[in-house]
Structure formats: C-alpha cells, structure tokens
Structure 1
Amino acid sequence: MPVPVSAESVARSLLRDDVYVRLRDAIVDGTLEPGEQLRDGELAAWLGVSRTPVREALLRLQQGGLVVARPGRSTSVATLDARAIRDAQAVVASMHELAVRQAVPQLTDADLDRMRTANEHFAAALRAGDVDAALAADDEFHDVPVACAGNHALRGVLEQYTPSLRRLERLRFASLAGRGSVALHERLVERCAAGDVDGAAATSYETWQTLEPLLAADR
C-alpha cells in the first residue's frame, strides 16, 4: 500500500511556505529594509512560529538573492545591488520569453481576456498610485502565459528570481515611467491573439527590460 502522508507533515509544509512568503513579501514591500539585520529568534516571535521554518525560509531567500548570510556573523536583507538585479532581470526576461513562446499556441480566448482584464487593473492601479495593486495585477497578467506553458522548471526559476526584481519595480510603478508597461502588455496580447510566436516572445522579453533605466541610474 502507498505510504500514508500524515496531516502533521502537510501542516509543516504549509507552515514553511507561509513563513517564506511572509518574509519575502516583507522584504519586497520594504517592511524589512535593505541592510537590516535578520535574527531568526526575533522573526520567529514576530510570525508566531518556531525558529526552524524561519531558518528554512531565510535559506530560500538567500538563494533568491533577497538575503545575505555571512557565516559566523549575521544575516541581513540584501541591498539593491545593480549587478545582482541585472543578473536576475536577464534570467527572468529569458524565462518569460520562453513561457510566451511555449504558451502562444495554447492560449484560448478566455486566457487572452484574462490578460486584458489584468492589464486594465494594472493601468487603473498605476493611475491611482496603488503600487501593491499594480504589482498584483502585473503578476496576474504574466502568470497567464506561464500557466499555459505548463513548464514547472520554468516556474520554479521565476519564483526564485522574480522577487528581487519586484523591489525595484516598486520604484518604477510609483512613477509615470511605469505606464509604459501598459502599452507593452497591450502589444503582447495583440501578438498572442494573432498567433505571432516570435513577435509575442520578443515583446515579452522587452517588457522585462524596462527596469534598465533604473539600473543605469544606480551605476
């Protein structure tokens, strides 16, 4: 008979994921500031959990570039390092380009409508100056082709490296420069609807290069 999975094991898994998401979001939204020292005991008390899931979450965050660990010294929130962000941007842009390339032949009218609706929400959030809503709508927009591609390895890479870009995107979406992404989204939907695989893939890649002016300014 199959080995049973206990409810306790499932609960532990969900707890680890929840702690990771909460710490990741706290870093992305600035609750935990760049350079801030992270003590697992304090974080555990804040989240109401034991130190074990906190330590596991910090390790995952380190792998994604959001946390810096100095053996024998301290763990802290990573600063907005231009080179590290540029590296993450290159990876994320390439993964989204691949996702769109794989997804275009499979996208349905309902999928395209979801992208259009997400972009409308994105534009409305930018006009209202609601950065959190803009980020959520942007995630919703790009997740449609990622989901349709059905490439689990690709999704895993995006989950690891996208959060480090989101910290910089908060600055872009808080400015008028972020509105350029609305037009890029519209062009991406048009090319997906036309079945233009190469054009859609190129537009997707271009969309994820819009952080370059901010990176250049940080040089």
Structure 2
Amino acid sequence: MADHSAHSTPYEVSFRLPRHRRSVPRSRALLHAVLGGWSIDEDTTGTAELLLSELVTNALRARAPEGGQVGVRLARSEEEGLLRVEVSDAGEGRPEVRAPGEDETRGRGLLLVEALAHRWGVWAGEGGMGKTVWAELKSPDIVPEPAGTEMAAITVRAGQRVRVWGAWRTVLSVRRVRSERYPAGGPTVILGLDEGPPLRVSSAEPLTVQTVSGEAAGPR
C-alpha cells in the first residue's frame, strides 16, 4: 500500500510507493486524483501521466537496496504556470538520454520525457545515494492568483471575491443593517456568499478583496 504524506501547501503532494510493477499504474491513479483536485485540464493530466509512468518505470529498473521505495512529488507553481513531477529512488547510476536501435525494446523512456517536458533534469541524493529525476510541464490552467486588496467591508460590492475562513468566496449580495452598530461605529454589513453562511462584520472591518470580471455595479 502506498504511504501518503501531504505537505502543508495544497499545491504540493508527496507519496511513496513500493518497488513493484503495480506501482506504475498506482502512481498514475494517484496523480490523476491529485490533478483532478487541482482542476488541471485533461491534456496536461494525460501528458503528466505519461511522464510519471516513464520516470517510475526507470526508478523501478534501477538497482537499489532491498526493501527500498520510490518517492513521488507533485507540485504546481502559479508564478511560472508549471506542473512539476519528481521521482526519487535509492538506485545506482544516473539516467541519460539514449538513442536505441530499431530492434531494442528499452531505452526510449527519457527520449519521451525530453519530448514532452517543458524542461527536465536530475540531481543526486544526499551523500550521493540515489537520485531524483524531475520534469515540468506548462499548464494553461495554472495562472498566478491576483493579489488581494484590503478595503473596508462597506465598500465591498456584489461580484467581488473576499478572503474569509481561509478561502476565497464570491460575494452574491451586500446588505447594510443600520439598526446594528459595532462599538467601533458604523452599521453592520452582511455579505451573502456563494459558500458558507452570510458574513456579518462591521462596516469598517478590513477585508481582502479580489475583483472578477462581470461584477455588479455596486452594493445592494
């Protein structure tokens, strides 16, 4: 059974697999589930599956200590719009791109990686033990998240997005209740959100806001 250990960031996941041929389809299934959760498009997901299959297959073929495992790390970089796949093993040697003959059945894995990846590479493990092979793909679904702007709750408009409870929520409606006043002064503002309960805050409460296209002209 795979040993999963997710990192704290939602866009970085690592897991370990046993050195067994069943780990190749298992790694593809795990990648498919992770990228589905990240809303990565089908074309990029399919290419990433091919890359991961080749890298895990190469890691399993490398001579390694008995009982070792293969490590897989998936990460996305919004800054560069990249999806990164890493495969680590304790095996000997360093993978190199080969030009196999027509009658050879092996040796084409890294040719495929080189053809599909935006860029790829390899580095040695700690103390020279083992290695990590990585490959990156450009993905149109990975774009930098617009920076939020801090503004008073009373100025928030329907159609904007606010950062509350650790996530971005779209504001569906804005209502001011003058009969409810906070100690700091000003009426209560009630924001109807696309997820979760309405948010009740002081009109002067600072909120982190993103503007999205097609927003309404102003608060209701």
Same fold (TM over 0.5): no
User: Quick check: which one's strand share is greater?
Assistant: 2
The higher radius of gyration belongs to 2
Larger relative contact order (C-alpha < 8 A, sep ≥ 6)?
1
User: Quick check: which one's helix share is greater?
Assistant: 1
TM-score class, shorter? under 0.3
| Alignment TM-score, normalising by the size of structure 2 | 0.23
